[in-house]
Chain A
Amino acid sequence: MILTLAVPTSAARPTFRFDLSRPLLLAFSAALCLLILLPLSWLVYYSIHDRAGGFTAANFVELATDPAFLDPLATTLILASSSAAICCAVAAPIGWLVARSDMPLRRTVRALVTASFVTPPFLGAIAWELLAAPNSGLLNKLFRALTGAEPDEYLFNIYTLPGLIFVISCYTFPYVFVLIANALDRMPGDLEDASAILGGSAWTTARRITVPLAMPALLAGALIAFLQAMTLFGSPAILALPAGFHTMTTKIWSLFQYPPKLELAAAASLPLLGLTVALLRAEAMILGRRGYSVVGGRGGEPRRIALGRWKWAALAAVLLALANPVFLPYGALLNAAFSRIPSEFVSFENLTLRNFAFVFFELSSTGVAARNTLILCTSAATIGTVLAVAIAYITSRKVIAWHRVLGFLATAPAAVPGIVLGVGLFLAYTRPPFVLYGTLWILLIAFVTIALPAAYQQLQSAFRVVNPDLEEASRILGATRLGTLGRITAPLLRTSVIATWCFIFIGVIRELSAAVMLFTSDTKVISVLIFDLNESGDLGAIAVLGIIMLVFTFAVIALINRIPGFGASRLRNN
């Protein structure tokens, strides 16, 4: 009896109380459409029109025939595939050692990979200039001092294509590592046990069980690494010019030089966009297959392989590999920050605080850039998290009819490289009705758009864990949808939400490729300031600003790690 009474009451409730959620959610959806579709439409429009506004295919013809575009395209493809290969070769063994062996200091190794993940690639490139410029690089100086080689001889030359590939790999391999380590973490141990029980040797088990199970993650990792290397702007912008070549991203950027060739920039952006979409589709297909491989194998905690006396050798090798993205560059930056001549080792007569004094008391852009960066990090993190929560809620609870479209739109920006998005936003928001260029809004839009896919995916998986029963109980008891969200869902998701916020915050600090297209003198951020300083070779000031950036970043990471029940695992998953 009671039950039959309760049902009509709950069903009647929404007709009496206005539910705000629907219009709000529709507004979110509309905003999202505008955010993503507007810049992309302008990009396409520009690419097929000439200056006078007439329809033309000339931009693409020039793109496909002019060596000034074909050479960078070839360079980019070589760069991306080599980086992907290197990343896999390095990340796979490290991932296996961390996830499946008894190598010591596994948590430290994971933390170091996180450190290389959050290091801005342009900063890493500048640090590697300090280390491996053929003549003034610290490593080459050390080499000459140790071997007595001639002044012209060098061990490394960072101003080359292999040099650039190396630097890009340093800051791209974490993407592969994360995928592989996660896959191995989740791989059930009982399959391997079964193989061992059936008499398979360690080698056979590895060949027949572990490798095939990890293969999809490795392939997906290779694709992601390819994608990252292909669309990266920061490292090539620092190293490619002195090395004497262009990549696609630096070429697109150079098209903005006066007189700007926006049509060509738009046309050159589209192949990058198309390749990215194709690669992401491929990745989804590969990872989609992985689901089958572990069915029926749940439960078994993966067995760690005992390395015996090899475990210290393994650790040494891993730390040596991690010296490249972390220890060496950080050391070079610290050295440059305190040294009168950045290319000389700090010594008693060389030690100076001049660079710090310059950055803090003389450089008039420091204040503006720091303020803008802080405002943008905070607001992008907040808005991005709110958006991601809302969309994740809609799609996981299927609140409105078009929730699938919304989910697609939220992940779509992942297919838009930062530099392409920068071009699109520049085209979209430098004209009426939305003149946002010159304000922080355009940067905010860029950063939120870039951060949205990862944030959304993170929160969506968090929502999946929360059983809808709790929310339904609240609704049945008479709460509105928003009330339920605030009092039931939000508290349950708090840790994920905070982690997402921090994740976006860190991402925004290091963003350069879109910012460099969209800033004006009043809306400069720290990453662009460093980029400007690099133009005139002010390495001491760059080192100081870079260290400030890293300190900020690691402070935020330390904060995440203090959230109860939340390790670096969240960061690792992205």
Chain B
Amino acid sequence: MPDGNISRRTLLKASGVAAISAFTSPIRAAAPEPAAVTPALIQAARKEGKVAYYTPIDLPVAELIAKAFEAKYPGITVRVERTGAERVFQRISQEYASGIHAVDVVTSSDAAHFIVWKRDGLLAPFVPEDVARHYAAEHKDPDGMFAAFRASLSVIGYNTRLVKSEDAPKSFADLLAPKWTGKIVKGHPAFSGTIMTATYEIARDIGWDYFEKLAKQRVMQVQSAADPPKKLGLGERAVMADGNEYVLFQVKESGAPVEPVYPAEGTPLVVSPNGIFKAAPNPNAARLFQCFCFSPECQELIVNRGAMRSVHALVKEKPGRRPLGEIKLMKEDPAAVERLSEEIKAHYTRIFRV
């Protein structure tokens, strides 16, 4: 009995299709005309009254975005379905395989997912005015299927009460020192898109060797990239090997003694696109929400309150944060992640045994 769930990634690998970068498809198709927020759109969205937003963004921040939208457009409620990006992807595939079309708008911290969704023809082309005007070509799909909602970093971090700043690790290599044995917490690439992306970048730039040695450090393994900063804040572990920079800042601003470290080898950059599903049950509310997500208002919200990074040209970085331009970054490559994700998960599971 064929189950209709044959791995698309396996198929792709088998047929030897060349990698296509997420944002630079060679096919120059026309993106749709940029869409402004019109009274007609608002009215149509209001008639639908709700929008389902699947996202891996840490829950308090995701709900913040939802509440800001609801305040701006009363009468439309946002239901946030938050889980790690890899589980968001699994959830949507399971739902779509059974003909359930529940998702309207999606964010994924594993940009490779958008390659798959686009290839499967699941996404609806839609370009908010802000994306057309204020987003560089490298941050949007040429066919108008998705654009970079936010950028975030997967950083190293430490608890300042447990580690003095001069003793803190400065690089990934530092984490392999015996003094960190049993003191490290890290996220899992089978749950978190951020960790998946970061694992690919680190393995590419430093090598799997690093992970094999790290696995011998008796690492505390958690799921989401949002969890290591929280475990650090609790004081459960002294150091995190990876995790969201923005959640670390949130934890810090809540009063916990934590600090980020931008590793000497480079900090993995994670760009998370937003897209609308073609079979969205609330298409108009989805479009309105998508427009809102890329508005300066929402982008400033995620920068100032959410501590994330924006690639909107008009949105400035928050004073006091280290600007992206001053951080040595590991570049992302969604097409490669798309090709390798199964292998990465399997390799990782073999090394870390979970």
Binding site for B on A (CB under 8 A): 45-46, 49, 51-53, 68, 71, 133-136, 151-152, 159, 240-242, 244-246, 254, 256-260, 262, 340-343, 358, 362-365, 368, 430-431, 435, 437-438, 520-522, 532-533, 535-539, 541
State in angstroms the CA–CA spacing of A437 and B77 once bound together: 25
| Assembly CA distance A133 to B162 (angstroms) | 16
Instruction: State whether A259 and B10 are in contact (beta carbons under 8 Å apart), knowing that A241-B188, A241-B223 are contacts in the complex.
Output: yes
Interface-lining segment among B86-94, B269-277, B309-317, B327-335: B86-94
- The answer to whether A244 and B102 have CB atoms under 8 Å apart is no
- A181 to chain B minimum Cβ distance, whole angstroms, is 39
A533 contact from B59, B345, B353, Cβ within 8 A? B59
Q: List 28 A-B contacts (CB under 8 A).
A: A45-B1, A51-B6, A71-B353, A135-B162, A135-B238, A136-B236, A241-B223, A242-B220, A244-B221, A256-B90, A257-B87, A257-B190, A259-B10, A260-B90, A358-B63, A362-B63, A365-B79, A430-B98, A435-B98, A521-B54, A535-B84, A536-B223, A536-B226, A536-B230, A537-B226, A537-B227, A538-B59, A539-B230
Structural contact, B60 and A362, CB atoms closer than 8 A? yes
Most buried by B among A68, A135, A364: A364
Extra contacts, 5 of them, besides A362-B63, A363-B59 (Cβ < 8 A), are A133-B234, A259-B9, A532-B83, A535-B83, A536-B58
Query: What total of A-B pairs shows CB separation below 8 Å?
Result: 156
Instruction: Report the nearest A residue to B345, measured CB to CB.
Output: A257
| A135 CA to B183 CA, complexed, in Å | 10
- Are B234 and A532 in contact, with the CB atoms below 8 A? no
Taking a contact as CB atoms under 8 Å apart, the answer to whether B94 and A260 are in contact is yes
Tell me if B117 is interfacial: C-beta within 8 Å of chain A: no
Look across to chain B and name the residue whose beta carbon is closest to the beta carbon of A431.
Answer: B98
B81 interface contact, C-beta 8 A: yes
The residues of A that contact B230 with a CB separation of less than 8 Å are 536-539
Residues from chain B with a CB closer than 8 A to the CB of A259 are: 5-10, 342
- Nearest-Cβ distance from residue A311 to partner chain B, whole angstroms: 41
Chain A residues with CB below 8 A from B190, complex form: 254, 257
In the complex, whether B103 has a CB less than 8 A from a CB of chain A is yes
Residue B279 is within 8 A (CB to CB) of chain A in the complex: no
Residues from chain B with a CB closer than 8 A to the CB of A541 are 59
Interface residues on B, range: 35 or more
Select one of B83, B99, B235 contacting A136, CB under 8 A: B235
- Residue-by-residue, is B41-60 near A (CB-CB < 8 Å gives 1, otherwise 0)? 00000000000101000111
Partner of A343, one of B79, B100, B236, B353: B236
Q: Cβ of B66 and Cβ of A437 under 8 Å apart? A: no
The verdict on B354 contacting chain A, using a C-beta distance below 8 Å, is yes
- The main secondary structure of chain A at its interface with chain B is loop
Q: How far is the CA of A262 from the CA of B2 in the complex (A)?
A: 11
Contact B98 A521 (CB under 8 A): no
Q: B63 touches which one: A136, A343, A364, A533 (CB < 8 A)?
A: A364
With A244-B354, A358-B60 already in contact, the answer to whether A438 and B220 are too (CB < 8 A) is no
Docked complex Cα distance between A365 and B53 (Å)? 11
User: Does B254 sit within 8 A of A, measured CB to CB?
Assistant: yes
CA distance A41 to B220 in the complex (A): 39
A257–B88 alpha-carbon span in the complex (Å):
10
A159 touches B80 (CB 8 A): no
Check if B339 is an interface residue, CB within 8 A of chain A: no
Q: Name the distance in Å between B114's Cβ and chain A's nearest Cβ.
A: 15
Which residues of chain B from 220 to 259 have any CB-CB distance to chain A below 8 Å in the complex? 220-224, 226-227, 230-231, 233-238, 254-256
Q: A45-B1, A135-B235, A341-B233 are in contact. Are A364 and B99 (CB under 8 A)?
A: no
In Å, the complex CA distance between A557 and B267 comes to 54
**Are B93 and A258 in touch, CB under 8 angstroms?**
yes
3 tightest A-B contacts by CB?
A259-B7, A537-B227, A438-B100
Say yes or no: A535 contacts B10, CB within 8 Å: no
Shortest distance from the beta carbon of A263 to any chain B beta carbon, whole Å: 8
A536 and B82 contact, CB distance less than 8 A: yes
A254: which B residues are within 8 A, CB to CB?
190
Contact of B98 among A240, A260, A438 (CB under 8 A): A438
Could you tell me the distance between the alpha carbons of A301 and B170 in the complex, rounded to whole angstroms?
74
User: Which residues on the B side are within 8 Å of A46 (C-beta)?
Assistant: 1
Chain A residues with CB below 8 A from B86, complex form: 257-258
Who on chain B is nearest to A260 by CB? B5
Q: A151-B162, A535-B227 are in contact. Are A521 and B9 (CB under 8 A)?
A: no
Chain B residues near A362 (CB-CB < 8 A): 60, 63, 67
Chain A residue numbers with a CB within 8 Å of B236 are 133-136, 343
Beta-carbon nearest neighbor of A242 in chain B? B220
Residues of B within 8 A of A535 (CB): 83-84, 87, 191, 223-224, 227
B352 at the interface (CB under 8 A from A): yes
Within 8 A of A (CB), among B170-193: 183, 188, 190-191
B78 within 8 A of A: yes
Chain A residues near B353: list those with CB within 8 A: 71, 244-245
Give the complex CA separation of A246 and B102 in angstroms: 32
* Contacting residues of chain B (1-46) with chain A, CB-CB under 8 angstroms: 1-3, 5-10
Q: B349 at interface (Cβ–Cβ under 8 A)?
A: yes
- On whether the beta carbons of B63 and A341 are closer than 8 Å, the reply is no
B7 neighbours in A (Cβ, 8 Å): 259
